[in-house]
């Protein structure tokens, strides 16, 4: 069965391989413009929709990324799955630069993000206790195992992602505190995507590329962008192999119901009282539940 997989590339991952035949798709949304044009390619029997999170040339701060427009656009183009790839700092000794972490939990330390499609006359509360799709994450985990000999580092099958606002990195006190509450890695983007993907009933998974130890590790120098870019250069080629594996092997995999039917019992509002313009704006998001 043909599948449509959205891939959101973070720092260092701005396009898929150049030798792939692709189509550039521009989408305008009711929430504004996405981070950039979407690269649509066919790999195996799957369609991959690739979007650079920070825009071409990395021009958007984490707080400036239009997460709602990104997810809305990918959903409107038919995506069922959404893989968020992102650079992170390590908060634990055993999670080393060059490693990969399939994060399954998040802690929110953001302050100024639009992180819901709802409001303006419609109220919904999705279940978010388990923020990633277990079916998708398990499938990717198996793929990472098969590709382990060609990856730049070790694979951690789960972890907790501390999402901070940025753009400055943490203070040493913050970094040490985040370690005490059980966070594995720290980044600035993926949680917001995961929330919106759940509202859009996209099966989301989070693949983190560890670039450095955060500043808690006093034996190291402080976080340095040059070091991060060097590590990312090695890790992004591995990430592209993972994306290719997903597209070629996903076949008949089905998303978990917690992801694909998240709105089933989430919408509280009486549909008859929701303003027509709100319903129209959320049409790709609400299509399944409003037609069922």
Does 212 participate in catalysis according to the annotation?
A: yes
Q: Residue 50's closest CA among 29, 20, 30, 28? A: 20
Report how far residue 77's alpha carbon sits from residue 225's, in angstroms, rounded to the nearest whole number.
Answer: 34
For residue 223, the 8-state DSSP code is P
Does 149 participate in catalysis according to the annotation?
A: no
Burial classification of residue 35, based on how many CB atoms lie within 10 Å of its CB (0-12 exposed, 13-18 middle, 19 or more buried): buried
Report how far residue 153's alpha carbon sits from residue 3's, in angstroms, rounded to the nearest whole number.
Answer: 29
Per annotation, catalytic residue among 99, 212, 222, 224: 212
Number of residues written out for the chain: 292
Give residue 134's Cα distance to chain centre.
14
Which residues have a Cβ under 8 Å from the Cβ of 226 and sit 6 or more positions away? Answer: none
Report how far residue 16's alpha carbon sits from residue 43's, in angstroms, rounded to the nearest whole number.
Answer: 11
Report how far residue 22's alpha carbon sits from residue 5's, in angstroms, rounded to the nearest whole number.
Answer: 14
Find the radius of gyration of the CA atoms of the chain. Answer: 18
**Which residues sit opposite 71 in a β-bridge?**
none
Per annotation, catalytic residue among 104, 120, 214, 220: 214
Answer yes or no: are the C-beta atoms of 217 and 89 closer than 8 Å: no
Q: Residue 192's closest CA among 210, 176, 204, 177? A: 204
**Residues taking part in catalysis:** 212, 214
């Amino acid at each position: 069965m043909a599948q449509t997989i959205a891939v959101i590339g973070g720092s260092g991952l701005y396009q898929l391989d150049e030798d792939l035949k692709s189509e550039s798709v521009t989408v305008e949304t009711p929430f504004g413009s996405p981070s950039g044009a979407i690269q649509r390619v066919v790999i195996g029997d799957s369609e991959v929709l690739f979007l650079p999170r920070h825009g071409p040339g990395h021009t958007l701060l984490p707080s400036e990324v239009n997460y709602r427009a990104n997810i809305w656009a990918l959903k409107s183009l038919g995506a069922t799955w959404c893989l968020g790839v992102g650079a992170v700092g390590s908060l634990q000794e055993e999670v080393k630069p060059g490693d990969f972490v399939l994060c399954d939990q998040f802690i929110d330390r953001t302050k100024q993000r639009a992180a819901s499609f709802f409001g303006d006359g419609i109220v919904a509360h999705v279940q978010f206790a388990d923020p990633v799709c277990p079916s998708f994450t398990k499938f990717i985990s198996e793929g990472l195992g098969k590709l382990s000999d060609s990856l730049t580092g070790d694979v951690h099958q789960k972890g907790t992602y501390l999402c901070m606002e940025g753009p400055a990195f943490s203070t040493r006190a913050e970094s040490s505190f985040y370690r005490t509450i059980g966070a594995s890695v720290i980044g600035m983007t993926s949680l917001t995507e995961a929330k919106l993907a759940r509202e859009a009933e996209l099966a989301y998974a989070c693949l983190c590329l560890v670039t450095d130890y955060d500043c808690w590790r006093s034996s190291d120098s402080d976080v340095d962008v040059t070091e991060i870019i060097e590590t990312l250069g090695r890790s992004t080629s591995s990430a592209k192999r993972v994306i290719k594996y997903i597209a070629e092997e996903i076949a008949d995999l089905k998303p978990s119901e917690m992801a694909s039917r998240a709105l089933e019992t989430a919408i509280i509002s009486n549909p008859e009282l929701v303003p027509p313009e709100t319903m129209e704006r959320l049409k790709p998001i609400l299509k399944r539940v409003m037609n069922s």
